[in-house]
Amino acid sequence: MENKTDTFNSKRLSILNIWVDDVNRCQARSRVQWMLECSDRAQVIFASNPEKNFSLPKYKDLYHLYQNADLLLPDGIGMVLAARLIHGRHLERVPGVEFFFDICKLAVETNRSIFIYGSREEVNERASRVLSKKIQGLDIAGRSNGYVKENEMEGLVNNINQSGAQILFIALGSPKQERWYATYRSRLKHVRVCQCIGGTLDTLAGNVKRAPDIWCRMNLEWLYRLIKEPKRIKRQRVLPIFAFMVLLEAIRYRIHTRVDFPMT
Ligand code: UDP
């Protein structure tokens, strides 16, 4: 890359209690490329979705971390619709699981290696194998399951550093993965890009099925997952509340915009 300055000037939109970046997939990809080429620290990518609007504010430290994240992907249709209603912005959905593949491809193109941390041992191992097959030439410099004990964490950090990987995927679920990043980011010597990927490895290993294309195209992936994993109702029951709050916020925003409009 020729331009070594950070030209990432997308807007960060506030959606109720959280935020999302006004980026499309291509811009998000360029941003990661910039991180790999120019950053001198482990930058972090989180997926922004409606559930986080309710879970994150409970943890002050993580909330602050999230607000200052390096990239907040418009992961689900909920955030895309909210951005349209509140800000009138037409965001492209950038699902974290798909962006994960973009980053892996970028790793191959730029000769970087990756480290995969998270999920149960058999899931991690299988997902790594599937990934190697899917993305030819991908260098998986190291991997670890997500059930490392606190007193073994030092060893894990050493392994990540010794692997030389510049890209780290953390699949511990939320908020564990955010907390791990907050605790260990300053100890990561070579990592320049950290993506928190939640249950992506389960999908990759085939334990959890992604919705067929037609469901994704109709923006009903969340419904498909709910049908397949009814226990997700616990997390998804906040969605109607989110929708209601977004509508209120959109109305409030419009009223305020009108009031503020200079009268001539
Ligand atoms: N997990 C882990 N260590 C833990 C707790 C969870 O590695 O201490 C893994 C778990 O095995 C699963 C993932 O984290 O693979 C959580 O997936 P989930 O779908 O809940 O994450 P989300 O995308 O919803 O945040």
| pLDDT at position 261 | 45
* Single-letter amino acid, residue 50: P
Residue with tokens 């037409």: 90
**Residue-wise pLDDT tens digits, 185-200:** 999 999 999 999 999 9
Domain annotation covers residue 259: no
Output the average pLDDT for the chain: 90
Which protein residue's CA is at the shortest distance from atom 20 of ligand 1? 173
Separation of alpha carbons 171 and 163, rounded Å: 18
Question: At residue 44, does pLDDT exceed 70?
Answer: yes
Atom of ligand 1 nearest to the CA of 124: 15
Which protein residue's CA is at the shortest distance from atom 16 of ligand 1? 173
Residue 257: its H or E element? helix 239-260
| Band (127; pLDDT cuts 50, 70, 90) | very high
Q: How far is the CA of 182 from the centre of ligand 1 (A)?
A: 17
Question: At residue 121, does pLDDT exceed 90?
Answer: yes
Question: At residue 205, does pLDDT exceed 50?
Answer: yes
User: For residues 44 and 76, which has the higher predicted lDDT (pLDDT)?
Assistant: 44
**CATH number assigned to the domain comprising residue 110:** 3.40.50
Domain annotation covers residue 227: no
| pTM (whole model) above 0.85 | yes
Q: How far is the CA of 50 from the centre of ligand 1 (A)?
A: 18
User: For residues 236 and 207, which has the higher predicted lDDT (pLDDT)?
Assistant: 207
Domain annotation covers residue 210: no
**Residue-wise pLDDT tens digits, 82-120:** 999 999 999 999 999 999 999 999 999 999 999 999 999
Domain annotation covers residue 9: no
Domain annotation covers residue 45: yes
**Residue-wise pLDDT tens digits, 221-254:** 778 878 888 877 777 788 889 999 999 998 888 7
Separation of alpha carbons 145 and 152, rounded Å: 12
Domain annotation covers residue 77: yes
Q: How far is the CA of 199 from the centre of ligand 1 (A)?
A: 5
Residues 6+ apart with CB under 8 A from 194: 42, 43, 44, 45, 167, 168, 169, 170, 181, 185, 188
Domain annotation covers residue 11: no
Q: Are 115 and 160 in contact (CB under 8 A)?
A: yes
Separation of alpha carbons 127 and 140, rounded Å: 11
Q: How far is the CA of 258 from the centre of ligand 1 (A)?
A: 44
| pLDDT at position 258 | 62
Helices and strands per DSSP (H, E), number in the chain: 13, 8
Who lines ligand 1 at CB under 6 A? Answer: 118-120, 123, 146-147, 171-174, 176, 198-199, 201-202
Question: At residue 2, does pLDDT exceed 60?
Answer: no
Which residue range is the domain that position 164 belongs to?
18-199
Q: Are 122 and 177 in contact (CB under 8 A)?
A: no
**Residue-wise pLDDT tens digits, 136-183:** 999 999 999 999 999 999 999 999 999 999 999 999 999 999 999 999
What's the first-to-final CA gap in the chain, in angstroms?
A: 49
Domain annotation covers residue 41: yes
The count of C-alpha atoms lying within 13 angstroms of the C-alpha of 53, restricted to the half-sphere facing its C-beta, is 26
Number of domain units in the chain: 1
Residue with tokens 């962006």: 99
| Sheet strands (E) in 23-155 | 43-48, 71-74, 113-118, 139-144
Separation of alpha carbons 61 and 215, rounded Å: 36
